[in-house]
Amino acid sequence: MKNRIRVERAERRMTQQQLAEAVGVSRQTINAIEAGKFIPSTLLALKIAREFAKPVEAVFQLEEGE
């Protein structure tokens, strides 16, 4: 699963820590999601998308074959 979290954070000048606090997870979790090492739960994906005021599909995309 690909994601635009790093891009969305950069556009808002938001740190991983700030996003983590806003959605109730650790900074390490945000880092792992950005790196593609962790797939967030539906609830967490929705919270992240809401924080960016975007639909979840604008933040997360399935890769070919997923």
Q: Indicate the domain borders of the chain.
A: 2-54
CA distance 58 to 20: 19
Q: How far is residue 58 from each of residues 24, 26, 28, measured CA to CA in Å? A: 21, 23, 22
Name the packing angle between helices 42-51 and 16-23 (round to 10°). Answer: 120
Tokens describing residue 5: 């979290």
Facing residues of 3 across strands? 60
Report the pLDDT value the prediction gives residue 66, as an integer from 0 to 100: 81
CATH homologous superfamily of 2-54 equals lambda repressor-like DNA-binding domains (1.10.260.40)
Report the pLDDT value the prediction gives residue 50, as an integer from 0 to 100: 98
Give residue for tokens 């074959």. 65
Report the pLDDT value the prediction gives residue 33, as an integer from 0 to 100: 98
- Residue numbers of the chain with a pLDDT score lower than 50: none
